Structure 1
Amino acid sequence: MATTLTPILSAFWDDPASWTLDTYTRHGGYRALDKALGMEPAAIIQAVKDSSLRGRGGAGFPTGMKWSFMAPPDGGPRYLVVNADESEPGTCKDVPLMMANPHVLIEGVAISSFAIGCEHAFIYLRGEVVHVYRRLLRAVEEAYAAGHLGKNVHGTGVTLDITVHAGAGAYICGEETALLDSLEGRRGQPRSKPPFPGVAGLYARPSSVNNVESIASVPGIILEGVDWFTGMGTEKSTGFGLFSLSGHVKNPGQFEAPLGITLRELLDMAGGMRDPDKALKFWTPGGSSTPLFTAEHLDVPLDFESVGAAGSMLGTRALQIFDETVCVVRAVDRWTEFYKHESCGKCTPCREGTWWLKQITGRLERGEGTEEDIDKLLDLCDNILGRSFCALADGATSPIMSSIQYFRDEYIAHLTPRGCPFDRHASTLFATDEKDSVTA
């Protein structure tokens, strides 16, 4: 497996006007759409299945298989919905992709829609990122004007419209069925399944909900071929992906590389730790909802199988790096506050469970807890895990359970009136004054 970077989606992000149609066309944009429109829709789906492209939004479900699970055409509308509600702490790949190269997403939407028989696709965007919303709207306008969208795409008689929808800013809407409810104008809450979106999704019609990066990867597969895509990554985790490095790293940012690269290799490319004298303490392989890793996992290949075998999840490849100055209990407490706040409240395990998790982690962090509280945390996590409508509650338990697994002694060190044994002034992760805003 190659360990060098593979700039594909990010190939011309450094162009002075990378987001424009002219720049995208100059780099071969919309050639894949031309090729796809000359293929049978079933052949496009088969190519994506053969590429083994797995969803880049976290779960890693095969994209082509998801399309093939949709109910057969019955003459009614079918929908493609792009999940651009990027909201998890540490996850920051889709926003820069849409800012720097929105047309690769639009071309991917056009090809994917043609493949599944969709004539009206939606891009559901997190409402706070107004700058991205405006850029996407402008890119869609350019695509319509150039004939890449509309009633007669490339003169083939194919119809495709795209609506860019700005959500109201709720993490829960990253869950596909909550997103669909929000898109329909209702409160964003996960639905009971079955029926799954492939059978009854948006407006109760067959729908496929896919991540931004998943859809943006489709043009390359169609244009360059299946062998090109499977030639990168590993046998079961094929292709490339955007790895987001943040935290205590010298040069944070997006690193597009084959799946299977290691954090050690990525850290070398990023210039190493921010302070070379401060050792790596813990990190997340896929955002705050994935179990923590430590320095002993530096050489774990970052693919779905290897990360899973090591006890975590690849997720969105959001690599948050924390050095030895950071209190793991305080970091987990902050994440737990996020999940408590973002719970939609629909199901009891999540609504009540995340609230109690926050009460206990906060008490421990302040030095007001007991050793029984640590065991109570684990018991709560055990009662929450797998018992909620969606994965939000499961994600809330991941950093807690893994941090106790690797850093139980640090939790115990908080069990005195003085609370956290770490010098907050020595950490560059959190504000030193509780009245200040938190920096990360």
Structure 2
Amino acid sequence: MNFEDSPEEAQFRAQARAWLAENAAEYRKPLPENMTEAETLKMARAWQAKKAAAGYAAITWPKDVGGLGGTPMERVIFEQEESEYNLPPAVFSIGLGMCMPTMMAFATPEQQKRFVPKALAGEEIWCQLFSEPAGGSDLAALRTKAERDGDDWIVNGQKIWTSGAQFSDWGILVTRTDPTVPKHQGLTFFFLSMKSPGVEVKPIKQASGGRGFNEVYFTNVRIPDSQRLGAVGDGWKVSLTTLMNERLSISENSQRGINFEALMKLANAVDGARGPAIQDKAVREQLADWYAKYMGLRNGRYRTMTALSQGARPGPEASINKAVFAAMLQDMASFGLDLLDTAGIAYDPELEGFRRQFAEAYMGSPGLRIAGGTDEILRNIIAERVLGLPPDIRADKGIPFNKVPTGAN
């Protein structure tokens, strides 16, 4: 494992650092408090357009589609340098990290020319319409159906946990077009305008107070066949392309929320029964345990970065890191609230920043154990694909989807 930049990477880091110093100076200070969604989007679009003009919006993309033609490691380096600034929320991450790679793989050249530049420049925002209420973590169990009607498809159904749907212009959508074949074989993939008649977006208010997720309902939504990606019935293959890019789009800097340094700061700032909490042996013992895990996660990310730098595919550490980090974040948030004592029960946006973030993390951290693959799914991936253990028994294997037993049967 190599902890140092290569000469070429060091040169790119210096260039990125200099560009950010010149173009992101206004983001050295914290963002204004209580910005409206419209204000946030305006700021995010402006920053995205500036990055796109310099080629930094999609570093690994080819130059002919607006990218920099760079390496995955250069992308990681830029994200590391960018993380030093208080930038607008990454509202384009789904579109650029998941939707556009799928469009570039399956859309026509004309469609790519129409949609990719606008997404890259922040002029249009995309969302991913995958999860469904009855499917859980099994994407192939989806029930949203699309039926052929001449040159169009009529879509009816529901998606859930769709990030950013409330302000998205376009979305990618996987549907069931043939329920008489096994579940992975009867899927078809589309893209559509989120302003299409029959599309209804309902925000989900979270316990943390956030409203980033949505339910999306489709009632006789008409999608032209020209907006189909891949062959009819080949939607699972297209979905895998999206999911692989989703994993690649997750980087070290996407792990937002509290970290070990924040917990150390809190332990030094609050008083326990006999002075600062950091002097308590039980507190120090718990901090030492989390420090060991924290360093393990950090070194795991270094392994991934080294693999990317050498042109290799990253190993299983991405799944391992996510499974460990999500549970650890929840435990750290709970411990932080305990250190705050009765003040820990207050969830007040006006509280001092580092104190407030423990309440926010406590409310939001359970979702991280679901998003991007539940704990159980990740453990199965590690067990089956890394350790080579026998796969789980699948009662629906080889059975037509409409014959799979349900709770209603």
TM-score normalised by the chain length of structure 2? 0.32
Question: Per chain length, whose mean CA-contact separation is higher, i.e. which structure has more relative contact order (CA < 8 Å, sep 6+)?
Answer: 1
Normalized per residue, the structure richer in helix is 2
TM-score normalised by the chain length of structure 1? 0.31
